[in-house]
Every structure is written in structure tokens, then in C-alpha cells.
Amino acid sequence: MTSLITMDDLTNEEIISILDIAEQMLPIARGEAYTPILSGKVLANLFFEPSTRTRMSFEAAMKRLGGSVLNLGDVSTSSVVKGETLFDTMQMMDGYADIAVIRHPRQGAAKYSSDAVEIPVINAGDGAGHHPTQTLLDLFTIRKCHGTLEGLQVALVGDLRYGRTVHSLSGALARFGSSLTFISPSSLSMPREIVQDLRNSGVDIVETEDFLGSIESLDVIYMTRIQKERFPDEEEYRKVAGVFCLTAKDLVNAKKNMIIMHPLPRVNEIAPDVDSTPHAKYFEQAFYGVVARMALLCRLLEVDVQEAIE
Ligand code: CP
């Protein structure tokens, strides 16, 4: 792997190896240890779409490991507003940085960028396409809470049509043998090609609009935001906005160890009264973004973590 554009760039063994390294990074991410194994390395953060967690956790990961970060910053203050193309912007990165992280509203922009440069490129979200580093931290969270990635019953809820997090996560979970329930309004169902690919590879999938019908059998509920910014027509958004909202009283029949995840930001999909239940893992999940991204950066920058830490 020289860049990470989709989860297909990683084998199951590579995923497990990244999660194992991420586990070792926990004391560094918490500030309990300082191991500057990325000292001298420079990351370029190129966010053409808003972000809090992905941008800042990449920055935290790099800095906690002794590296440094260049931010494109607010796109409206960059030369993009003068008409510079993505290709030309990327050409600069080969000279300025050792690795680049890109988020862009256009599906395929990360792959296009990685083809334009020599340095590794990490897809931090390309439109309604993929978000593989979110999947790494999601898998880390699931394994941390359930002790395994295998054989789980997972419900993905909300905007499955435009939701790049669930596009990446569904395939990865399937590869580890999870059963998947896709819960969405019909207008926001998982793209047919993803469902077909999963079914062709033998994955057990249920598609439904019934939000809480199977809650007692689930190990993971993965909520997602209905993404207003992806709708071509605001009227269509208004028809489905707020359709699913999980509250604490909905959880009475849930398994004790069932976990609730969300890539965040949430709008109104999870009521605040869920936060204090033992099921709520979404803030912990966001923290695990730091270790998952630390492990990935080390791998792409070809730093031998074992040798450096021992
Ligand atoms: N989960 C996620 O991608 O969050 P941000 O949009 O804040 O980066």
C-alpha cells in the first residue's frame, strides 16, 4: 500500500496489523508517553470540505509522534479561488510534504490526487465516495468494545445513500464476517452496486425502514447524519430530515454490551440522554481516530514502530 484511497487498498492482515499498532499508540495519544518517531516528517492537510475530527486528529497524530503539519487552511484564502486546479495544487505537495491527507467534495478526487503525486495520499473523504480512515477507527472501536471483529450483528442507520463512512465500513465489516442490517428511508438506501457486491460475496444483508425492530439482536448500532449538503434539492432533504432519532428509552431491550457509534457530527440522530448510557461510544470512537491515524501514518511513511518503540 502506497496510498489509502479505499479499504480495498488494505488486506485483512494489514487492517489487523494497523489496529494492533494503534493499540500500542494509546499512551502516546493520551500524552502519557512521547515517542517522536515521525520527527522530521511533514504532513499536508488539504481539506476542501469542512472537518473537525479528521483534520484535527491527523494533526494530533502527527504532532504527538514528533512530526509537523502544513494546513491548506480555509480554501477561500488559498489560490484555489484564483482558479488553480487540484492537479496543480497537488504538484506543490510533492515539494512541501512527505504525505498528504485530502478531503474533497468530488467523488474520486483522492484517487485523482494520488495519481498526480509521488508522496502517499490518504483519502479523508471524497464526496459520497469513501472515508477509509474513519473505517479504521470504527473497526478499532468495535474490536476494543467487543474484543473481535468477527461474526457481529451490525445495523447501519440513516443516510446510507450519500454516507461515505458507511460505504467504507460496510465492506470492511463484511470481510470480517459481520451480518449487516441497513436501516434508512427508501430514498436514502445503500447504493445498489454496494449491496450487490456484498451479496455476491455471500454477505447476509437485511434492508429495512424499521428503525428499532431488531434492536435486541444487535451488537452495534452505527448512526449517521442525514447530510443536507449532499442533497441536490432542499425539499428532498426536508422530507427525511430527523426521520430517525435514538433516545435512551429506545434502548431497554438492547443487549447489555450493544454499542452505539456515530462518525459525528450528530445533528439530532442521537438524543443527549443516550450520552450517559453505557452503550454510547461515539466520543471514545472519535478519540480512537488519533491512534488509528498514527498507525496508518507510520505504515505509509515506512516507520518500523516495533523497532522505534522497543
Ligand atoms: N467523522 C468525520 O469525518 O468528522 P469530521 O467531518 O468532523 O472530520
Instruction: Label each residue of 118-165 as H, E or C.
Output: CCCEEEEEECCCCCHHHHHHHHHHHHHHHCCCCCCEEEEECCCCCCHH
Task: Report the topology of domain 7-130+289-309.
Answer: Rossmann fold (3.40.50)
Query: Domain 132-286 is classified in which CATH homologous superfamily?
Result: Aspartate/ornithine carbamoyltransferase (3.40.50.1370)
Whether 82 is a known active-site residue: answer yes
Residue pair 227/250 in contact (Cβ under 8 Å)? The answer is no
Tell me which of 103, 161, 225, 293 is the catalytic residue: 103
Whether 131 is a known active-site residue: answer yes
Tell me which of 6, 54, 135, 224 is the catalytic residue: 54
Measuring from atom 4 of ligand 1, which residue has the nearest CA? 53
What's the pLDDT at 234? 86
What's the pLDDT at 227? 83
Ranges under pLDDT 50 in the chain = none
What's the pLDDT at 85? 95
Kindly give the distance from the C-alpha atom of residue 121 to the centroid of ligand 1, in angstroms, as a whole number.
18
Kindly give the distance from the C-alpha atom of residue 264 to the centroid of ligand 1, in angstroms, as a whole number.
6
Whether 255 is a known active-site residue: answer no
Tell me which of 41, 104, 130, 131 is the catalytic residue: 131
Three-class DSSP labels, 202-261: CCCEEEECCCCCCHHHCCEEEECCCCHHHCCCHHHHHHHCCCCCECHHHHCCCCCCCEEE
125 Cα nearest atom in ligand 1: 3
DSSP SS3 for 43? strand
Measuring from atom 3 of ligand 1, which residue has the nearest CA? 54
Residue pair 159/225 in contact (Cβ under 8 Å)? The answer is yes
Tell me which of 6, 41, 53, 281 is the catalytic residue: 53
Dihedral sign for Cα 278, 136, 66, 80, please: negative
Q: What are phi and psi of 47, to 5 degrees?
A: -110, 105
DSSP SS3 for 195? helix
Ligand 1 shell residues, CB under 6 Å = 51-54, 125, 134, 263-265
Q: How many whole angstroms separate alpha carbon 98 and alpha carbon 102?
A: 13
Kindly give the distance from the C-alpha atom of residue 307 to the centroid of ligand 1, in angstroms, as a whole number.
32
Q: How many whole angstroms separate alpha carbon 66 and alpha carbon 39?
A: 4
What's the pLDDT at 7? 97
Measuring from atom 5 of ligand 1, which residue has the nearest CA? 51
In whole angstroms, what separates CA 220 from the centre of its chain?
A: 16
Measuring from atom 6 of ligand 1, which residue has the nearest CA? 51
Kindly give the distance from the C-alpha atom of residue 60 to the centroid of ligand 1, in angstroms, as a whole number.
14
Kindly give the distance from the C-alpha atom of residue 202 to the centroid of ligand 1, in angstroms, as a whole number.
31
Sheet harboring 220-223: ordered strands across? 205-208, 179-183, 153-157, 220-223, 259-261
What's the pLDDT at 237? 84
What is the bridge-based pairing of β-strands 121-126 and 220-223?
unpaired
Considering the chain, tell me which residue range(s) the CATH 3.40.50.1370 domain(s) occupy: 7-130+289-309, 132-286
Whether 77 is a known active-site residue: answer no
Q: Which three cell numbers stand for residue 271?
A: 438524543
What's the pLDDT at 158? 96
Closest CA to 257 of 287, 218, 283: 218
- DSSP per-residue codes, 72-84: ---GGGSGGGGT-
Whether 281 is a known active-site residue: answer no
What global pTM score does this model have?
0.96
Q: How many whole angstroms separate alpha carbon 142 and alpha carbon 155?
A: 13
Q: Which residues contact 309 (CB under 8 A, 6 or more apart)?
A: 24, 35, 37
Q: Which three cell numbers stand for residue 23?
A: 493499540
